[in-house]
Structure formats: structure tokens, C-alpha cells
Amino acid sequence: MSYDTVMEKVKVLPEPCLEAAANYLDYLLYQYALSKMNSLTESEEVFNAKMQKGYDDAMQGRVKTIDQAFADIKKRFA
């Protein structure tokens, strides 16, 4: 469904329905934001595996200076 279609439906809503429609839109936006945050979380098992890998890398000398690390970040996100 297009944005224009939704807007046309909103335009013809009776005024007593506007508050309910606005509340539902707030709910939808909240659910969308929540779903985005949930994708950022990871299980304890995954977290522990990543931490172990980082520790193992450090113990094996697979490290970078802070300047190298920031240079890599700049390249990756520039």
C-alpha cells in the first residue's frame, strides 16, 4: 500500500476516530522501533563466543594499535 493511499484514508476518517488512529500509528512506530532493537541483541552464547574470540586473538598477538583500529573503522564507514 502506498503512502498516498494511506493519506487518502486518513483524510476521510471521521474526527472522533482521529485519536484512535493516531494512537494506533504510535503503536505501530513503537513496534517497528522495538523490532529494530531486537535485531541488535544477541544470545548469551553468541556474546560469549565473540568475547572468547577477542580474548584468543589478543593472547595470540592478533592485535592492532588504536590508530590502526580507528583507521579501519573510518575506511569501513566512510
- pTM higher than the cut 0.85: no
pLDDT tens sequence across 9-34 = 999 999 999 999 999 999 999 999 98
If you ran DSSP here, which 8-state letter would residue 13 be given?
S
73 with 51, same domain: the answer is yes
Domain of residue 61: give its range. 42-78
1 with 37, same domain: the answer is yes
Number of domains in the chain: 2
* pLDDT of amino acid 41: 78
